[in-house]
Amino acid sequence: MICSTTQTRLPQLPDAPFTSTQNACKLCTPLGACLAFAGIEGARTVLHGSQGCATYIRRYMISHFKEPIDIASSNFGEQAAIFGGRENLRVSLQNVSKQYEPRLIGVATTCLSETIGDDVGMFLKEIERETSAEGRPVVVPVSTPAYAGTHAEGFHAAVRAVIEQLAEPGEPGKHVNLFPGMCSPSDLRYLREVLEDFDLPTIVTPDYSDTLDGPTWDQYHLIPRGGTSIQQIQQTARAKASIELSQTNDASRTAGCFLEEQHSVPRHRLPLPIGVAQTDELFAVLERLTGQPTPEKHQMERGRLIDSFVDGHKYLFDKRAVVFGEEDLVVGMAGLLAEIGMVPIVCASGGKSGKMQAAIEDLAPDLTSRVEVLQGVDFVEIEKLAEKLRPDLLIGHSKGYTMSRRLGIPLIRIGFPIHDRVGGARILHLGYRGTQQLFDRITNALIETTQADSSVGYTYM
C-alpha cells in the first residue's frame, strides 16, 4: 500500500528515476516572458496560444505578487489550431490596443502556436502593413515554446528580444545598462538605490519594482505605473557598459551579449550579488565604472554584515542546507552559505543550463566534494535526497513547503513563487543589505530549532 491513510501524509516517494516529472521545480517558458514584459513601461503581454496559458500564468503570478496582472491571450480555437493563429493575433493586438492603450505589446508564443509553426514575425509584419501607424504600439515578439527551457530561458529571451528590437545606435553616453535577471521588486529597488548612490545613470531592464509592487489606487490603472521606458531601452546601445547578473543563462544569447556584439557595449557578467564576495564583485565593477569609491552608506552596510557574521558564526558552522529553485538564485545562495561556514549539500533546480556545477565550484572550491549539484530535477528527486541526507535547513521557494512539512525541516523562503505567505515581492536577496536579511533569517531559523528542541526552553540563547 503506497498511499498513506493519514490525512496529512502524501504518498511515499519513489527511489528510481522516473520518466515523468513529478512536482516540477520549474515553470514554463512563457511565464518568464510575462515577468520580463511586466517590467517595461506601458507594456502589455499577449500570449499567442490557448486562453488557459494566460489565465494560469496570471493566477500563478498574482498569487505571488498580489497585484493585478493582466495578460491577454490570442485565445486559439480549433480553427486557429488548424489554419494558423494569424487572425487571432491580429484581433488580440487590436483589442489590447483599444482597451489598454499600451506603448508596447510583448507577444510570447506558446507550445501550441510553436507546434503548428505560426510565423509570428511574419504575421506581425503583415498586420503592421494593414494597420495605421498612428498610435500603434511597438510589438515585440519572442519565441517561448514551453517544450524548450524553463521560465528562466523565457525571461532572458524576452529581455533580449526587447533590446534587440528597440536599441538604437548613436553617440556613446555616460550611462550603463543593468540586466538584473529574475529578482524581486525589492531587489530591483535596492539595485537602483545603489546605482543612484554611485551617481551612475543606469537603465535597468526590466524593472518591475513599481509595476508588480505598488500602492493602492484611487482609480483603476490600465497599466500600472513604472517600468523601463521605451526611450531608455533605445539608449541601451549607447551605454558605456552593460552589467548582467547571471552565471547560468546562455551568455551568447543575452541582451548584454547582443549589445556587446552589435553595438560594442562592453559587458560585465557577474553572479547575483548574494553574500559578501559576490556583492563585492558588483561594487568593484561600479567603482571601476565611476572611478568612485563605494559610498560610505554601503561600506557601513558591508561592515555591519560582517559584524553580524561574527556574532552568528557558531550557530552556522557545518550546518547543511538543501537549496532549490532558479539556477542563478541557487548558485548565489550556495556562495553565501559557503562563505558563512555552512554547506549547501544539495543545489537543485528544474532548470538545465548545465552551468550550475562549474559556477558553484567556482564560488565554493573547498566544498566541491560535499556539494551535490542537480539539474533538471523535480521535487520528488530533491526530497528523496533530502530525506536521506537530513539537512538542517531547506532554502527555496514556497513549493518546498510540502517537503519541509514532511521532513520536519524548516524552510527559508526565497525567490519565486511565494504562494503561502504575504510579502513575496518584498523579500530582499541582493547586496549587503539583502544578504544581511538572509543571514539573519537563516541564523535565527537554526537558533529557533535549537531552542525548540531544548527540553529546558531557554529564553536566552
Partner 1 sequence: MVDILESRRPQIHQIGKEPFAMECDKHSAPGAVSQRACVFCGSRVVLYPIVDALHLIHGPIGCAAYTWDIRGAVSSGPQLHRMSFSTDLKERDVIYGGEKRLHKALCELIDHYQPKAAFVYSTCIVGLIGDDVDAICKKVTQEKGIPVLPVHSEGFKGTKKDGYAAACAALDSLVGTGSTKGISPVSVNILGDFNIAGETWLVREYYRRIGVEVVSTITGDGRIDDVRRSHGAKLNVVQCSGSMIHLAKMMKEKYDIPFIRVSYFGIEDMAQALYDVAEHFGGGRPLEKARQLVRDEVAAIMPELQRYRKDLEGKRAAIYTGGAFKAFSLVRSLRTLGMKTVLAGSQTGNQDDYTLLKDLCDEDTVLVDDTNPLELAKFMREKKVDLMIGGVKERPIAYKLGIGFVDHNHERKLCLAGFDGMRQFAKEVHATVMSPIWKFTQRPRISAAQGGFVS
User: Which residues inside 174-233 make contact with partner 1, applying CB under 8 A?
Assistant: 216-223
CA dist., res. 352 & res. 216, Å (int): 39
Give 323's DSSP letter. E
Of 402 and 451, the one with the shorter C-beta distance to partner 1 is 402
371 near partner 1, judged by CB under 8 A: no
109 near partner 1, judged by CB under 8 A: no
Q: Which of 402, 444, 449, 451 binds partner 1 (CB under 8 A)?
A: 402
Cα 319 to chain center, whole Å? 27
Residues 137-156 that bind partner 1 (CB under 8 A): 145-148, 150
Of 14 and 169, the one with the shorter C-beta distance to partner 1 is 14
Residues 53-82: x where in contact with partner 1 by CB under 8 A, - otherwise, as a string: xxxxxxxx-xx--xxxxxxxxxxxxx-xx-
Half-sphere exposure at residue 256, Cβ-oriented, CA atoms within 13 angstroms: 27
Contact status, residue 362 vs residue 275, Cβ threshold 8 Å: no
Q: How far is the CB of 382 from partner 1 (least distance, A)?
A: 14
Half-sphere exposure at residue 314, Cβ-oriented, CA atoms within 13 angstroms: 3
Q: How far is the CB of 219 from partner 1 (least distance, A)?
A: 5
Of 96 and 142, the one with the shorter C-beta distance to partner 1 is 96
Q: Which of 35, 36, 43, 93 binds partner 1 (CB under 8 A)?
A: 93
83 near partner 1, judged by CB under 8 A: no
CA dist., res. 107 & res. 456, Å (int): 60
Q: How far is the CB of 325 from partner 1 (least distance, A)?
A: 13
Contact status, residue 351 vs residue 413, Cβ threshold 8 Å: no
Residues 273-332 that bind partner 1 (CB under 8 A): none
CA dist., res. 287 & res. 307, Å (int): 23
458 near partner 1, judged by CB under 8 A: no
Of 51 and 451, the one with the shorter C-beta distance to partner 1 is 51
418 near partner 1, judged by CB under 8 A: no
- Identity of the amino acid at 362: D
Q: Residue 284: count other Cβ atoms within 10 Å of its Cβ.
A: 13
Contacts of 104 (CB under 8 A, 6+ apart): 37, 40, 41, 42, 43, 44, 137, 138, 139, 140, 162, 230
Residues 5-44: x where in contact with partner 1 by CB under 8 A, - otherwise, as a string: x-xxxxx--x-x-xxxxxxx-xxx-xx-------------
